[in-house]
Amino acid sequence: MNKFHSAPLTAVKLADKFFAPGQQQSFSVTIPSALAKCEETGRIEAFKLSWKEGAPNRPHIFWDSDVAKVLEGMAYSLALKPDAEAEKVYDDLVDLIASSQQPDGYLNSAITTDKQQGVDNRWKNLGSNHELYCAGHLMEAAVAGFEALGKRKLLDVMCRYADYIDSVFGYGDGKRYGIPGHPEIELALVKLYRATGNEKYLRLSKYFIDARGDDPEFFYREVTRATSLSYLIADMPVREQQEVYAHAVRALYLLCGMADVAAETDDEPLLAACRRLFRNIVDKRMYITGGVGTSFDTERFTVDYDLPNDTRGYSESCANMALALFCRRMLDITGEKEYADVMERVLYNGALSGIDRHGDRFFYPNYLEVNDNFVQYHAGRKIRQPWFNCSCCPTSYSRFLPQLGLFMWSVNDDLVRLEIPAAGKLALPGRTVEVCGNYPFDDKFTVKIGSCGKFKLAIRIPGFAKSVSFMLNGEMINMPAVDGYAVFDRQWCEGDEIICNLGMPFEFIRSHRKVTMNRGKVAVMRGPVVYCCENTDNPGDVSSLFAAAGSKFIAKELPDGYPAAEFDGFMEKLDGEELYTNKVPEYVPCRITAIPYALWQNRGETNMNVWLPEML
Amino acid sequence: MNKFHSAPLTAVKLADKFFAPGQQQSFSVTIPSALAKCEETGRIEAFKLSWKEGAPNRPHIFWDSDVAKVLEGMAYSLALKPDAEAEKVYDDLVDLIASSQQPDGYLNSAITTDKQQGVDNRWKNLGSNHELYCAGHLMEAAVAGFEALGKRKLLDVMCRYADYIDSVFGYGDGKRYGIPGHPEIELALVKLYRATGNEKYLRLSKYFIDARGDDPEFFYREVTRATSLSYLIADMPVREQQEVYAHAVRALYLLCGMADVAAETDDEPLLAACRRLFRNIVDKRMYITGGVGTSFDTERFTVDYDLPNDTRGYSESCANMALALFCRRMLDITGEKEYADVMERVLYNGALSGIDRHGDRFFYPNYLEVNDNFVQYHAGRKIRQPWFNCSCCPTSYSRFLPQLGLFMWSVNDDLVRLEIPAAGKLALPGRTVEVCGNYPFDDKFTVKIGSCGKFKLAIRIPGFAKSVSFMLNGEMINMPAVDGYAVFDRQWCEGDEIICNLGMPFEFIRSHRKVTMNRGKVAVMRGPVVYCCENTDNPGDVSSLFAAAGSKFIAKELPDGYPAAEFDGFMEKLDGEELYTNKVPEYVPCRITAIPYALWQNRGETNMNVWLPEML
C-alpha cells in the first residue's frame, strides 16, 4: 500500500553543511574504523569458527550483528563512492561469512563456535541469545550488497539461512513456536522478500509479528534467566498495544517490521497499531531532540511525560536512528506530513548527536543535560567513546550515515516531494532537482530544476514555519499548502527556480505541563534544530544559567563555523558551601550562547544543557 | 572514648505530637502487624527447619533478619509497656529460634533448611547470602532482650553463635578470610561485647572492619555472581575512604560499627574516617530531609550533589533510620552538636516519612517529588504498602520506633543534655527533667525541673535558630552558647523552670549551586522540619505551583491537626496537548499550603512536591 518510496540511494547527492560531511566521513572514517574495531576485537575472526575454550575474544551473541551492520554500510559506501581496494575487503568478508554457514543453512559465529553455548543451544534461548537478531542484520547486509552493488553471494547465503529458519519456526506442521527477544528479523525478511520476490520471507516476517503475544510465558519457560515480558514485548499481540513500551530499540525495530508487513499485506489493523504507537511516542514519550527510550534502566520507554534530561534518562543513539527509519516507512506508506516532521526532528538532533564531527567517537545515550554531578550508568559517558563492549551504536552509524540521502526526498510515479530541503541534488531520469541554501540555519532555500518536462514537485511546509512564501522564476506565487505540501504541477524547463522563504525564527519552546522535569524551563529551537548551551561559549557553568523571558535572539556563527544563537539571560550566583541554605542568590544579567544540540561535545569535555530555567 | 550516652530507654517518656504517637502505635500496631506478616509469610515457621523442596514459602536468606528486628522491637516494647500475653509470644519465639541452633552454634533458617543452598553452602557466598547480616540482627535482638528485659536465653544462643563465627573467621591459625557483603554484624558484636564484657566479640567486630579492603577481589572469587566491589564496600580499607559510596544501608551500618569500634578501642584513624564520611554525606550527598542513598539503581550513594527528587532518587527508609543511629553514636563519642543537628533533621523528616500515621503502611524509598509521571522502580510505590518481598523497612520500624526516646537526651556523670526539645520527660535518679510545648511547631518550649540537687543541664541551640532567649524562673537570663549548647550549672529545686524561645520562622531554603536538580527552586522549612505540598491542600496539581519570592508565611493548623504553612505562589497554566510548544504559559497568583514532609500521603493518593520553582 505504499504511496511513496525513498529516492534510490545513488540518485541523491547531499551538499549541505549538516548531513553531507557526516555521510562523506562515514566512507573514510566511520566505516573503516568500525571495521578495524571488529578485526581488533575478534568479531571478524569469529567467522572462522576456530575459537576454542580458553582462547581470548570469546565470540559473543551480539557480534555477528556488528559485522553485518558494517558490511551493510560498506555496500552503500561502495555504491556511492566506488573503491576497488575497499571492494576487495568487502568481498573477502562476504566470503568469510559465507564459509561459516553450516550445512543446514544455520549461520551464527557465537552459537556455532562456543561449546558452552553449544550447537545444541541453537534456538534454546530466543529471549536473550540474539540469533534471530543477528540473522536479520546479516539479511539487511545481504540485501544492501545485492541492491547497491548487484552482488548475489551473501544474498544467496542469507536466503538459505532464511529458508532454514522458515523450516524451524511457524504455525505449520513440524514447526515450533518462537519469536525473537530482540526484533530485527521482521523488517529484514521483508527486505529479503522485496529483493527476491519470494513470498515465503514475507510470510515468515508476518509470522514473527503475529505470533508475538500468542504465548506470553514463552520466554519465561525457555531458560532460567527471565527478563520482564513487557521489556521483550511478549505480553500481548502487537495489534492490541495501546502504548509503546519495552526496550526502545526493540520497540522501534519491531515497529519498522510491522509497518513493512502492513505495507506489503494491506493489513489495516497492523497499520493502525503503527499509527497509534507512533502518536504515543511523539505526543508523550519523545525528547525534544527526537530521542526515545527515557530510562537508563533497561534502556526503555517508561510512562507518559517521563523525560528526565540528565543521566537518569537515555535516548540511545540506535533507538533514535530507528525512529527515523520508522518515520521513513510511515511516510512511504501514508504520505502524511506528520511523519516527515518527526523524521526531520530526529535527524537534526537525537539521531546524529551520538557521533562526533570526526566520525569515530560515539555517545550511547544522548543526554539533554550534562553537569558536574554526572553519574555513569551503563554505557553513558561524559565524552564520546570510540567503541563499547556492546557496540551497537558505532556500527549503527556505519550503516546509517551512508543512507542519509534516503530521508530527503519522497518519490512516486506522479510526484517528487522534497521532504527536507537540505542542500543537495536529486537526479532521477527526467526529474532532476537541486536544492541550494543553508537550511535549516537560514530562512531561505532555492530549488532549481535541472531537467525539462512535466512533473509534479511538492515542497513540504514544516510545522514550525511561521510563514511561507514562494518565488517562482523571480515572481511571487501564492501556493496554498495541500496536506502540508506546496505542490507545483507544471511543465518545467531547465533552470526554473523556486525560492522558498520560511519564517523560522529562534524561539523559546516549552514542554507539556505534565513534563515535570521541564517545569519553568525553556529550550531554544530554530526550525527543526534544538540548541543547547555548553560551558565553552558561556560566561559560567551552564547549570547556573537562566534564560530571560522574551529575550530577542541574534543568529551568529562561531569561529569554527558553528551556527549559534545568542540571547539574554542571567547567571545565578550563590556563594557558600552549605548543601542547604537560606541565603538568596544574586542573578547577574549575561548573554547566553547556544549551539545545535547534535554538535555538542566536539570541543572537549564540557557541561551542557538544553532546558534552561526561565526568568520572567 | 564516649563522652555521652543515651538516657536509658525506660528513663525517657515521650509526650510530643510527633514522636510519641508513633512510638505508642509501634506497641499496638507496627510490631503486632509485622509479627503477623512474619507468621503469614513463613518467616517464623522457617525456624522449625521443616521446609522441604517444593513446599510453599521457601526460606529466604533475608528472613531471619526480619524476625530478629521484630523481636528486638518487642523487647523494647515490653520494657516500655509490659504485657503478659505479648511476653509469652516473645518467649515462645525465642524458644523457637533457639531450637533452630545447630550443634556447632550455627543458626540460619534459610541456609540450614534449603538443600539447594545446602549446609555445604555455609559461608560460601558472603557477598550475597546475608548470613553474617542475619546473625548481627539476631545478636541485636538478643542484647535488647537482655538489657531491656533481663532475659538471657537468646543472649546465650547468640554468644554461642558468635563464638562459632569467631572460630571460623579471623587472622589467626585455622581461620579463614571473610567479610560480610552486608555489614551489620560489626555493630552487633560491639553490643554483644558491651552486654557480656567478652572482648572476643569486640576483637571479632574489629576484624570484620579491618579486614575490609584487605582482599578486594574476595567477593569476585567466592561465587560466580559478582556484584560491584564498591557497592559492597570491599575495594579499599575503611580508614582510607574519602567519600561515602555503596548501597546506603550497607554504608551506614558499617559506619555505625566503625564508630562503635573506634569508641571502644580509642582508634583515632577509624574515628577520623567516620567524621570524614559523615561530612561527605551531610555536605554533599544528603537530601534536605536527611534522606540518603540517592539512586534507585542499587539503592546507593552516587556522586556529590546528585540528589534527584523524583522516582530516580531513593532515600530508603532503612538508610535514613541508620543515619540517625550513626549520628547518635557520633554524638555520644564526640559530644559535638553537628551530629545532633543532622540527627534531628533526619528524625523529623526522612526517617519517619516511611511509615504512615496508622503505623502499618510503609514507603521503601522516600521520594521528594511524586507526580503524574510516576515510574515504579524496585520497591517504590505511590502509596505506602503493608509489606514488601524484601521487607527490611517495615521490620526496621518495628525496632526503631520504640527506641525514639534514645535520641532526645545525652547523659554522662556530669551533664544532662537536651538534644531535641520535643515534649517529654527524663527521669534519672536525682535528675528529673520535663519538657513542655509544641516544638518544633512552636517557637517556645519550657523545661521543668522535677528533682532537687546540683547538676548541669545543657540545652542545644539548633543551627537554624535565628535568635535564642531564656527565662529562668520568670527572669530573662543571658546564656552564651558553649559549643552550641546553653549550659545551666546550678543547684536545682523542684519546680524550677526554664522557658526557651527560639527564633524559628518559616523560611525558603535553597540548595548548593551544584545541585542542578534544584536550580531555581526553594523548599519550605521551619526549624528542623521540611514542608511539602500535596494536591490535597492546594488549588491545582503541585507540579504546576511556583513559590513567590519573598512571600510571607502564615502558620496554620489544618482540620485534622496537621501543622501547615501558607504562602504566596503562582499556578502555571499552559493549555494544549502538544508535547513541545512555543505557547507562553499564564501564571495565576494563588495561595500555597505545605505540610510537614513526614506526614504526607496520609490522606489518600496524591501528588507531592518539596522543591518548588521560585518566581522572582
Q: What three-state secondary structure class fits A6?
A: strand
Selection from B397, B395, B396, B367 nearest residue B379 by Cα: B367
| Residue-wise pLDDT tens digits, A291-317 | 999 999 999 999 999 999 999 999 999
Q: Which strands make up the sheet holding B409-411, listed edge to edge?
A: B5-6, B409-411, B415-418, B453-460, B485-492
CB B231 within 8 A of CB B219: no
Chain B touched by A520 (CB under 8 Å) = yes
Q: pLDDT above 90 covers what percent of chain A?
A: 91
Conformational region of residue B541, where left means phi above 0, alpha means psi within -120 to 50, and beta covers everything else: beta
CA pseudo-torsion sign A476, A479, A484, A489: negative
Q: How far apart are CA B285 and CA A386, in angstroms?
A: 32
Question: Which positions of B are annotated as active-site residues?
Answer: 299, 392
- What is the Cα–Cα distance from B273 to B258, expressed in whole angstroms? 9
**Which residue does chain B place closest to A607, by CA atoms?**
B516
pLDDT, mean of residues B496-500: 98
Q: What is residue A172's predicted lDDT score, i.e. its pLDDT?
A: 86
Asked if pLDDT for residue B275 goes beyond 60, the answer is: yes
For B307, name the nearest residue in chain A, comparing CA atoms only. A373
Domain ranges across chain B: 41-236, 243-407, 411-502, 506-615
- CA B90 vs. chain centroid, Å, equals 24
Report the alpha-carbon distance of residue A253 to residue A267 in Å, rounded.
18
Q: Are A143 and A197 in contact (CB under 8 A)?
A: no
Q: Please report the residues numbered 526 through 545 in chain A whose beta carbons come closer than 8 angstroms to any beta carbon of chain B.
A: 543-544
CB < 8 Å to B579, chain A:
282-284, 286, 511-512, 515
Tell me the average pLDDT of chain B.
96
% pLDDT > 70, chain B? 98
The per-residue pLDDT for range B552-561, each reduced to its tens digit, is: 999 999 988 8
Q: Is the pLDDT of residue A558 over 80?
A: yes
The answer to whether the beta carbons of residues A38 and A74 sit under 8 Å apart is no
Would you put residue B551 in left (φ > 0), alpha (ψ -120 to 50) or beta? beta
- B569 at A interface, C-beta within 8 A: no
The SS3 call for residue A85 is: helix
- Asked whether the predicted pLDDT for residue B294 surpasses 80, the reply is yes
Taking the CA atoms of A392, A393, A395 and A396 in sequence, report the sign of the dihedral they define: positive
pLDDT band per the 50, 70, 90 thresholds, residue A223: low
Collect all residues of chain A within an 8 Å Cβ-Cβ radius of residue B371: 514, 516
The string of pLDDT tens digits covering residues B440-467 is: 999 999 999 999 999 999 999 999 999 9
DSSP 8-state secondary structure symbol assigned to residue B7: P
Q: Is B377 on the interface with A (CB under 8 A)?
A: yes
The answer to whether the beta carbons of residues B610 and B598 sit under 8 Å apart is no
> Averaged over A512-540, what is the pLDDT?
97
What is the rounded CA–CA span in Å between residue A473 and residue A498?
6
Mean pLDDT of the B518-546 span = 97
Residue B328 has pLDDT above 80, yes or no: yes
User: Would strands A453-460 and A415-418 be described as parallel, antiparallel, or unpaired?
Assistant: parallel
DSSP secondary structure, B306-370, as one string: ----STT---BHHHHHHHHHHHHHHHHHH--HHHHHHHHHHHHTTTTTTB-TTSS-B-SB--SEE
Percent of chain A with pLDDT over 70: 98
Q: Is the pLDDT of residue A163 over 90?
A: yes
| Cβ neighbours of residue B67 closer than 8 Å, sequence gap 6 or more | B38, B43, B44, B47, B93, B97, B395
Quick one: pLDDT band at residue A225, thresholds 50, 70, 90?
low
Report the distance separating Cα A300 and Cα B415, nearest Å.
58
Residue B509's pLDDT is 98
Label residue A322 exposed, middle or buried (CB < 10 Å: 0-12, 13-18, 19+). Answer: buried
pLDDT at A117: 54
* Mean pLDDT along residues B291-299: 94
Q: Which amino acid is at A346?
A: V
Half-sphere exposure of A180 (CA within 13 A, CB side): 26
Number of Cβ within a 10 Å radius of residue B588:
13
Residue B556: all three cell numbers together = 496554620
Does A120 score more than 70 pLDDT?
no
Q: How far is B377 from chain A (nearest CA, A)?
A: 9
Pairing of strands A444-449, A431-437: antiparallel
Q: Which residue type sits at B363?
A: F
Residue A16 · residue A277 · CB < 8 Å: no
State residue A217's pLDDT score: 85
The yes-or-no verdict on residue A547 having pLDDT over 60 is yes
> How close, in Å, is residue B367 to chain A by CA atoms?
14
> What percent of chain B is modeled with pLDDT above 90?
91
DSSP state of B406: G
- For chain A, the average pLDDT equals 96
Q: Is 3.40.1410.10 the CATH classification of the domain at A41-236?
A: no
CA angle A191, A74, A105 (to 5 degrees): 50
Q: Do the first three CATH levels of A41-236 and A243-407 match, i.e. the same topology?
A: yes
Distance CA A68, CA B586 (A): 53
Look at residue B172 in the predicted model and tell me its pLDDT.
86
Closest CA to B134 of B156, B169, B165, B163: B165
Evaluated on CA atoms B522, B527, B530, B533, the torsion sign reads negative
**Partner-chain contact A373 B580, CB within 8 Å:** no
The answer to whether B581 contacts A616, with C-beta atoms less than 8 Å apart, is: no
What does the pLDDT read at residue B236? 92
B523, β-bridge pairs: B509
Nearest CA among B9, B12, B80, B8 for reference residue B435? B12
Model pLDDT, residue B594: 98
Contacts of A295 in chain B (CB under 8 A): 375
Q: CATH number for A411-502: choose from 3.10.180.10, 1.10.10.10, 3.30.460.10, 2.60.40.1180.
A: 2.60.40.1180
Check if the beta carbon of residue A96 is closer than 8 Å to that of residue A46: no
**A124 close to A222: Cβ distance less than 8 angstroms:** yes
Closest partner residue to B577 (CB to CB) among A283, A296, A371 is A283
Nearest Cα neighbor of B399 from B13, B38, B74, B39 is B74
Which residue is it, cell 518559616? B506
Tell which CATH classification among 1.25.10.10, 3.40.50.12780, 1.10.8.60, 1.50.10.20 matches the domain B243-407: 1.50.10.20
- Count H helices, E strands: chain A? 15, 23
Return the C-alpha torsion angle B212, B218, B222, B224, nearest 10: 120
Would you call A501 helix, strand, or coil by DSSP? strand
Mutation target among B244, B513, B571 for the A interface, most CBs of A within 10 A:
B513
Is the pLDDT assigned to residue B115 strictly greater than 80?
A: no
What mean pLDDT do residues A167-189 have? 96
The vertex-B581 CA angle with B580 and B586, nearest 5°, equals 120
Distance CA B366, CA B352 (A): 10
Q: Does A372 touch chain B (CB under 8 A)?
A: yes
- Nearest alpha-carbon partner for A334 in A419, A259, A426: A259
Q: Does B224 touch chain A (CB under 8 A)?
A: no
Please answer whether residues B492 and B557 qualify as being in contact, where contact means their C-beta atoms are separated by less than 8 angstroms: no
C-alpha distances in Å from residue A176, one per residue of A170, A171, A232, B149: 6, 7, 19, 66
C-alpha cell at B339: 551530629
Which of the four pLDDT bands, split at 50, 70 and 90, describes residue B544? Answer: very high
Query: pLDDT band at B225, cuts 50/70/90?
Result: low
Task: Place A544 in a pLDDT band, splitting at 50, 70 and 90.
Answer: very high
Q: What is the pLDDT of residues A433-486, one digit of tens each?
A: 999 999 999 999 999 999 999 999 999 999 999 999 999 999 999 999 999 999
Is pTM beyond 0.90 here?
Answer: yes
In this prediction, residue A490 carries a pLDDT of 95
Tell me whether A577 touches chain B (CB under 8 Å).
yes
How distant is the Cα of B350 from the closest Cα of chain A, in angstroms? 15
Residue A160 and residue A110 in contact, taking contact as beta carbons nearer than 8 Å: no
Residue B579 to residue A286, Cβ atoms within 8 A: yes
Place of cell 535488647: B144
User: The C-alpha cell of A177 is what?
Assistant: 513456536
